[in-house]
Amino acid sequence: MLPKYFSHNNVVLVFDLGGTYFRSGVYMHPKGVLNVHQQSALSFYGASDMTVADLKKGLLKYLVNTARSYKENMRANCVSISLGAALDGRCGTVYGSGPLWGHDNSPFELLTQLHQSASEFEWHIVNDVTAGLLHYAKHAANLDIRKILLLTVSSGIACRVLDVRNQHIALDEFGLQGEIGHSPVTLCFRGQMLELDCDCGEHNHVAAFSSGRGMCRLSKLLAKRQPLLWKKSRLAVLCAEGEGYESALCRALDENDAFSVNLLYLATKPIADILRNALAIDPELDRIVLTGGVAVNLADHYREMLMRHFSEQGLYLSSNFDSELFNRRIFIAKSDEVNNLEGAALYAINQMQQKVLSVQNKRQDVYAYQHKLVQPNVNLDSGKYAISFLMTSMYNITRSGGYYA
C-alpha cells in the first residue's frame, strides 16, 4: 500500500552506489525497477589521481545530473540512494567508505548538499545493506523466522540484523550497526601470521582479507608464500590467459585447484568466525543470508567452505545437539532476492509515509489534549515517531523512540 499522495506519481528514482559500480534506475509501482544503467564507480581505487574532496564533488554531480536526466522523460520528484558507506541511519550523515574514499572518514553531509543542489527533488539516503535487507525481507515475509542477518561480501563487508516480528533494525547512538568489515582479525597460514592493509588505511581488518579486493591481495600474498603452487595452479594459468579474476577463481574452484581452495579457505575464515559469534550472542538469528559479488559469484563454493569451517569448529554445545544448526540457517542470496535499487525505493516510500503519519499523530494528540480526552505523555516536538519498514502490504506504525535505518 502506497501513501495516498504518492499514488498519483508512483515513481522513485533510485541509485545503488557501491565500490565497484554505480547503478541507477526508475522504480515504478507495481512494475519494479526499470531503465537500469550501470557505470564504473567513482572511487579512489579507479581514480587515484583525484582527491577525496573531488571524488565527493564528482559523486554529488553524478547524482544530480543523472536524476535530472531521468526527470526529463518522466514525472518524478523523489530520489532514493542506496550507498555503500557507513552512515548515520537516523539523519543520513555519511561517516566514510573504504571502497569509495579509502581512509577518509570526515563527515559528509551528502543529503544536505543534494537538497541544496537540486531542491526540486525529495532526496533520501540509506545504507546499501539496509536497502538489500528491506528487499529480501519483503519476499521473506511469510517465513516463520524471528530475525534475519544479511551480510554482504563485495568490495566492502558489512551486515544488518532485522527483527521480523517488529521490522526493527536496531542502531547504536551514532546511527550505526553491523560495520564488521573493519573489525580486526588475526589470520595465519602454516603457522605464520598474514598481514594486509585495508582500504580504510588500517591493517588486518576483515575486509583486508575477505572482501573482493582483499581476496585479490591475499592471492598475491599467498603466491609469494607458495610460488611453486601458484605457478602450476589453474588460477594462475587462467589469469595469464587474460580471464577476469572472479571468473578465473570460480573456474579454478570448479576444478578443485589446490591454490584456489587454500585461498577461499583463508578468505572465508573471518566470515565464519563472525557468523559463529553472532549465533552465540543472538540465538534468534533464524536466517543468515550472504549477498554481494564475492558470495553470489562463488555461490556453492563459498557456502561449502563456510560449512567446512563450521564442521571444524562449531557452536559450543549447540552444534552437538543439532548438527544442521548452520546448514539450516545460512543461504546465499539468489539474484532476484536482494535488489538494493528496489530496497532504496521501499525505504523512500516508508519515509514519506512516516512523514504523513507523524503529522497525523501529532494532530490527534493536540486534539485529544485540547478536548481533555488524554493527558499528554509525549513531547510533540520531540520527533520520537517511527515507522517500521515495508515488509508486507500493510504499514506497521509504532510510537516509540526507536531508530530505524
The answer to whether the Cα torsion of 294, 295, 298, 302 is positive or negative is positive
CA distances from 33 to 69, 78, 124, 345 (A): 16, 14, 17, 9
Residues 6 or more apart whose Cβ sits within 8 Å of residue 79 = 12, 13, 14, 15, 63, 67, 114, 121, 122, 123, 124, 348
Are residue 186 and residue 69 in the same domain, yes or no? no
By the 8 A CB rule, do 132 and 389 touch? no
pLDDT tens per residue across span 66-108: 999 998 878 889 999 999 999 999 999 999 999 999 999 899 9
Report if residue 144 sits inside a domain. no
For residue 391, pLDDT over 70 is answered with no
Whether residue 372 is contained in a domain is answered as yes
356 vs 48, more confident: 48
Pair 312, 358 in one domain: no
Claim to verify: residue 322 and residue 201 sit in the same structural domain: yes
**Residue 352: predicted pLDDT:** 86
Each residue of 295-328: pLDDT tens digit? 999 999 999 999 999 999 999 999 999 999 999 9
Mean per-residue pLDDT of the chain: 88
Decide if 22 is inside a domain: yes
Q: What is the predicted pLDDT for the residue at 367?
A: 57
Residue 21: which H helix or E strand, with range? strand 21-28
Q: Is the pLDDT of residue 374 over 60?
A: no
What is the Cα–Cα distance from 242 to 347, expressed in whole angstroms? 41
- How many independent structural domains does the chain possess? 3
CB of 93 closer than 8 Å to CB of 50:
no
Residue with cell 540484523: 161
Distance CA(232)–CA(196), nearest Å, equals 24
Identify the pLDDT of residue 378.
Answer: 41
Question: Per-residue pLDDT for 290 more than 60?
Answer: yes
Higher-pLDDT residue of 125 and 5 is 125
Same domain, 305 and 255: yes
pLDDT at residue 74, rounded to an integer? 81
Residue 342 lies in a domain: no
Is the pTM higher than 0.75? yes
Q: Could you tell me the residue range of the domain that residue 58 belongs to?
A: 4-128
Does a structural domain hold residue 172? no
Q: Is the pLDDT assigned to residue 380 strictly greater than 80?
A: no
Together in a domain, 265 and 381:
no
* Cell representation of residue 117: 543542489
* CA 189 to the chain's CA centroid: 30
Q: Residue holding cell 589446490?
A: 258
Distance CA 55, CA 85 (A): 14
The pLDDT tens digits for 146-161 are 999 999 999 999 999 9
* Residue where one domain finishes, among candidates 128, 145, 169: 128
Same domain, 184 and 230: yes
Question: Based on the domain organization, do 249 and 117 belong to the same domain?
Answer: no
**192 and 113: one domain?**
no
* Judgement on whether residues 65 and 102 belong to the same structural domain of the protein: yes
- pLDDT band of 9, cuts 50, 70, 90: low
Q: Is residue 377 part of a domain?
A: yes
The answer to whether position 65 is within a domain reads yes
* In a shared domain, residues 328 and 356: no
Does one domain contain both 222 and 256? Answer: yes
Q: pLDDT band for position 213 (50/70/90)? A: very high
User: Is 80 exceeded by the pLDDT of residue 390?
Assistant: no
- Please tell me the predicted confidence (pLDDT) of residue 46: 87
Q: Rounded to an integer, what distance in angstroms lies between the CA atom of residue 41 and that of residue 130?
A: 20
Location of C-alpha cell 532514493: 80
For residue 123, pLDDT over 60 is answered with yes
CATH code of residue 69: 3.30.420.40
Per-residue pLDDT of 28-63, as tens digits, reads: 988 899 999 999 999 998 888 999 999 999 999 999
The pLDDT value given to residue 139: 81
pLDDT at position 371 over 70: no
Looking at per-residue confidence, does 196 or 72 come out higher? 196
Q: How confident is the model at residue 362 (pLDDT cuts 50, 70, 90)?
A: low
- Residue 251 pLDDT exceeds 90: yes
Alpha-carbon distance 65 to 306, whole Å?
Answer: 42
SS3 content of the chain, % helix, strand, coil (to 5): 45, 20, 40
Q: Give the count of beta carbons closer than 10 Å to the beta carbon of residue 251.
A: 16
Phi, psi of 85 (to 5 degrees): -155, 155
Asked whether residue 12 falls in the same domain as residue 90, the answer is yes
Assigned domain for 28 exists: yes
Would you say 327 and 315 are in contact if contact means Cβ atoms under 8 Å apart?
Answer: no
